[in-house]
Amino acid sequence: MIRILVKLSSFNPNDMIRILFSLLFFTLSTIAGVAVQGQQTAVSPDKARQIDAFMMHAAENGLFNGAILVAEHGEVIYRKSFGYADFENSVPLAPETAFYLASVSKQFTTMAVMMLKEEGKLSYTDPLSKYFPAFPAYARGVTIRHLMTHTSGIPDHYRLGAYKPDLTNRDVYELLVKQDSLDFRPGDMYRYSNGGYVLLAMIVEKASGKPFYEFMKEKIFDPLDMDRTLVYDASKPVIKNRAIGYNQSGMKDDYEILTTGAGGMFSTVDDLFKWDRALYTDKLVSQKTLEEAYTPTALNDGEISNYGYGWGVVMADGKKTVSHGGSLNGFRTYIGRNLEDQNTLIFLTNNGGAVANQEIREGIANILEGKPYDMPAIPIAAELNRLLMDHAPKNAVKKAKKRLKDHPGKYKKDEGNINSLGYYFLGRKEYDKAIAVFGFNIDLFPDAPNVYDSMGEACMVSGDTAKAISYYRKSVELDPVNQNGLNMLASMGVDTSGLVKPVIVPVDVLEKYTGVYELAPGFNFTITLDGDQLMVEPTGQMVSPIYPASEVRFYSRLVDAQITFRMDKKGNVTGLTLHQGGNTEARKVK
């Protein structure tokens, strides 16, 4: 299980001080506590001021550590950075700081393919077998277009376990070519595949006769004066003024692989704006070619996938927006472009999940459109930390609960950050505060196994073995693959052989759970059945198995997350609840 925190066996109190710093648990009520650099223009002063207040609020409350650029009608109205490129050395970010782009790189890969297509060096209908004859016979039915639209059936190499430092495209190819079959018949469905995009980068090399990094520099970056953008290759080039990646808890989680096509690029908000502006011209490819890239994909059965060539495509109020996000290691990135109004939002961050991604996208879009908007909710962990500075632990928790009750829209329950705060106090041996914080988390998230695991550790460290056993037992009941909980119980002499019991759910019940569940506008969980194995695919992410803890509750072995399916009185599945850093409800839409 991937846990949100390191446990005390590898714990350094100084690390947790940096964690606290990275989460911006500040006592200051002004932005003086956050490193800020940048500018805002006078093109739309009112909107720029609104965006600045919005982003200051996010940064002050641990919801943004990165660089952001906003353009309206093709003109930059806001450009600023908040926080730190290097937490350990307190190096501030700047708008010129380069970030790893993660999957925002995919639109550049498809641009390379489109340029080669216009040059007559390849065709979208070329089969995979033309470039990789060693693939099994199924490759004859997979086209370049299938790869670009995530409809190829080529599996995501991360799902196959292909992750290691210095992972290369060749490593991915050698894994994929060994697969006996596709995930599905090409064109039957949309399923995000990083592996498909690695193959696209390799096809660009074969069609152009040049290394991918060289082609991108010569054909795209240099012509657009994107002098802070590059494809990170095996030479491991030194990148000046580059952000280091950290996870949400402030632990270093930097980019460490060498694959290209699916990711592999570094850039800045300024260079990405140059890219945005170039896409309204014919400088790289024709507008006719780009229009095809911005068109949703028709599947074999006539259903529509809202993904074009490296871009997600959404129509709202008669206007088309194309966008893509990225997420790997400590980096979260985004570019969104309203093609009708030429409004653009770009943000690049390096603090893992500590970013109000959806809230920022929706809030700034509403500001630009002159619509009402809400400030991102404040993590209750930050407020609890402030309260603990002036009040006894029990009183602080009582006040935090009252704030949640009295101001439900102002504060948000944030399991991960509350957990981080508990470990901060545990590392300082302030056991009364740690136990109060973990207890608060249990009250808020009674179905989350990690909160009981953390409380078990606090009780054990503080000398209350009986309570530690009780909490560890509860953690394992909720998460049967919680190896840490099992190990800790065994270390205290508890027989764990009967704790984990296999749960078998009939296939006809599993079939009822299949469908599409909307967690947020534009973000769904697609639940499918592979034989008798239930699978989940978040929008833009890889498909992965989930396992039953009961007939209605399932858990992931890849991340600390559980899903509970909800039904009406007639037994019809109406939605699900995601238990991950809180409880998020999703309705079944298909």
Is the domain of 168 the same as that of 296? yes
- Concerning whether 235 is annotated as a catalytic residue, the answer is no
- Distance of alpha carbon 455 from alpha carbon 145, whole angstroms: 51
Please, which residues bridge with residue 37 across strands?
Answer: 81
pLDDT of residue 428: 87
71 occurs within a structural domain: no
Is the domain of 411 the same as that of 442? yes
Which domain-ending residue is among 428, 460, 491? 491
Mean pLDDT of the region 519-526? 81
Read off the pLDDT of residues 539-552 as tens digits, 9 standing for 90 and up. Answer: 867 788 998 888 89
Q: Which residues contact 247 (CB under 8 A, 6 or more apart)?
A: 4, 253, 329, 330, 351, 352, 353
Which domain-ending residue is among 368, 390, 423? 368
Is the domain of 360 the same as that of 425? no
Q: Please, where are the H alpha helices in 209-345?
A: 212-216, 269-278, 287-293
Who has greater pLDDT, 13 or 272?
272
Mean pLDDT of the region 32-41? 50
CATH number, domain with residue 441: 1.25.40.10
Is the domain of 238 the same as that of 334? yes
pLDDT of residue 341: 96
- Distance of alpha carbon 516 from alpha carbon 213, whole angstroms: 38
78 occurs within a structural domain: no
Domain extent, residue 139, equals 102-368
Q: How confident is the model at residue 448 (pLDDT cuts 50, 70, 90)?
A: confident
Domain total in the chain: 3
Structure tokens belonging to residue 583: 């409880």
Mean pLDDT of the region 27-40? 42
Is the domain of 259 the same as that of 350? yes
What rounded mean pLDDT belongs to the chain?
88
Residue 203 predicted with pLDDT over 90? yes
Residue 15 predicted with pLDDT over 60? no
Which of the residues 103, 323, 420, 556 is marked catalytic?
103
Is the domain of 483 the same as that of 525? no
Q: Which residues contact 272 (CB under 8 A, 6 or more apart)?
A: 69, 104, 335, 346, 348
Mean pLDDT of the region 281-302? 97
pLDDT of residue 414: 82
pLDDT of residue 21: 30
From 9, 95, 82, 19, select the one nearest 252 (Cα to Cα).
19
CATH number, domain with residue 345: 3.40.710.10
Is the domain of 337 the same as that of 397? no
Distances (CA, A) of 272 to 129, 259, 336, 534: 34, 21, 11, 39
DSSP code string of 400-439: HHHHHHH-TTTEE--HHHHHHHHHHHHHTT-HHHHHHHHH
pLDDT of residue 37: 63
- Could you give the angle at the alpha carbon of 100 between the alpha carbons of 94 and 104, nearest 5°? 110
36 occurs within a structural domain: no
Which domain-ending residue is among 491, 523, 539? 491
Is the domain of 428 the same as that of 511? no
CATH number, domain with residue 552: 2.40.128.50
Cβ atoms within 10 A of the Cβ of 188, count?
A: 15
Is the domain of 346 the same as that of 446? no
pLDDT of residue 42: 41
Please, which residues bridge with residue 172 across strands?
Answer: none
Residue 580 predicted with pLDDT over 80? no
Q: How confident is the model at residue 38 (pLDDT cuts 50, 70, 90)?
A: low
Is the domain of 157 the same as that of 276? yes
Read off the pLDDT of residues 56-113 as tens digits, 9 standing for 90 and up. Answer: 999 998 899 999 999 999 999 999 999 999 999 999 999 999 999 999 999 999 999 9
Sheet harboring 75-82: ordered strands across?
36-39, 75-82, 66-72, 343-349, 331-338, 319-328, 312-316
Is the domain of 193 the same as that of 215? yes
Is the domain of 157 the same as that of 204? yes
